[in-house]
């Protein structure tokens, strides 16, 4: 995913990876648009992790960030579709 986002490869958007925000680490951040992209594996399907994700998302949203969660399955199915979704979400929200 990082290879596809770095160096403004996603529609000219600048992303950073593994960014500390408060007590959390965002997978990918487009600071200009206040968008965080989270890449979620199977562990995020577990109830305990979902609860942590909800708390985390609430905290980040209170700071003004918008969060787009993408599953590993979505990414593996089509990187092109995933990047189109990221670009659309980042520039319209």
Rounded CA separation 7/83 (Å)? 14
**pLDDT band per the 50, 70, 90 thresholds, residue 93:** low
Residue 26: which H helix or E strand, with range? strand 24-30
Distance CA 87, CA 67 (A): 13
**pLDDT (average), residues 2-6:** 92
**Any residues with CB less than 8 A from the CB of 22 and at least 6 apart, and which?**
59, 60, 63
For residue 48, the model assigns a pLDDT of 74
CB 42 within 8 A of CB 73: no
Domains belonging to the chain, first-starting first, are 2-88 (3.40.960.10)
* pLDDT tens, position by position, 25-35: 999 999 999 99
pLDDT digits (tens, 9 = 90+) for 36-51: 999 876 666 767 768 8
């Amino acid at each position: 995913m990082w290879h596809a986002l770095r160096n403004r490869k996603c529609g000219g958007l600048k992303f950073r990876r593994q960014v500390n925000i408060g007590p959390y680490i965002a997978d990918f951040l487009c600071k200009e648009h206040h968008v965080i992209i989270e890449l979620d594996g199977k562990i995020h399907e577990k109830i305990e992790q979902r609860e942590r994700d909800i708390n985390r998302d609430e905290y980040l949203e209170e700071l003004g960030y918008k969060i787009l969660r993408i599953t590993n399955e979505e990414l593996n199915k089509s990187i092109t579709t995933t990047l189109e979704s990221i670009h659309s979400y980042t520039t319209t929200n």
